[in-house]
């Protein structure tokens, strides 16, 4: 089984969503991890609530720095940056033999400063769907 690391700046939304999708929907293909270049230390509560509504297991999720993967015993086969900031920050740091892929996914947190719960769910669902489409495309390319 291959390991994939999703990285964004805060490791509180996009990378967490990607890790959750892999580990809950595609666990037979990859084991996913996530990290941030400047982690917030917390998973966004709206994102967490959305993922729980999908009955996803979130027990191993946390917001953490990608530095822990540099000397880790976990072999990372693919690294996917899900924001431009992380792409610019991580590429020079992580080992060159890893395949680094960049997906420019819009940050949902920018739009979540609203009180309407339905609108929040819609914003997160759009991000979730965008990431899931990228994952499906990645798997199709990976199996070629």
To the query of whether residue 96 is one of the catalytic residues in this protein, the response is no
Q: Which residue among the candidates 4, 7, 8, 90 is catalytic per the annotation?
A: 8
DSSP codes, 61-88: ----BGGGGTS-SSPPSEEEE-SHHHHH
Q: Of the residues 76, 83, 86, 90, which is catalytic?
A: 83
Q: Is 73 a catalytic residue?
A: no
Q: Is 37 exposed, middle or buried (0-12, 13-18, 19+ CB in 10 A)?
A: buried
For residue 37, what is the DSSP state? Answer: S
- The answer to whether 82 is a known catalytic residue is no
Among residues 58, 84, 91, 101, which one is catalytic? 91
Q: Which residues are catalytic?
A: 8, 83, 91
């Amino acid at each position: 089984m291959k390991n994939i690391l999703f990285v964004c700046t805060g490791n509180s939304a996009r990378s967490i969503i990607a890790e959750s999708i892999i580990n809950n929907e595609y666990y037979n293909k990859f084991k996913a991890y996530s990290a941030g270049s400047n982690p917030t230390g917390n998973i966004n509560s709206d994102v967490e609530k959305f993922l729980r509504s999908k009955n996803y297991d979130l027990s191993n999720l946390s917001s953490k720095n990608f530095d822990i993967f540099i000397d880790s015993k976990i072999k990372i086969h693919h690294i996917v940056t899900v924001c431009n900031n992380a792409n610019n920050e991580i590429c020079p740091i992580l080992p060159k033999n890893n395949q680094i892929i960049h997906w420019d996914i819009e940050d949902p947190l920018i739009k979540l400063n609203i009180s309407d719960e339905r609108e929040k769910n819609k914003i997160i669902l759009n991000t979730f769907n965008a990431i899931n489409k990228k994952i499906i495309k990645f798997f199709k390319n990976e199996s070629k």
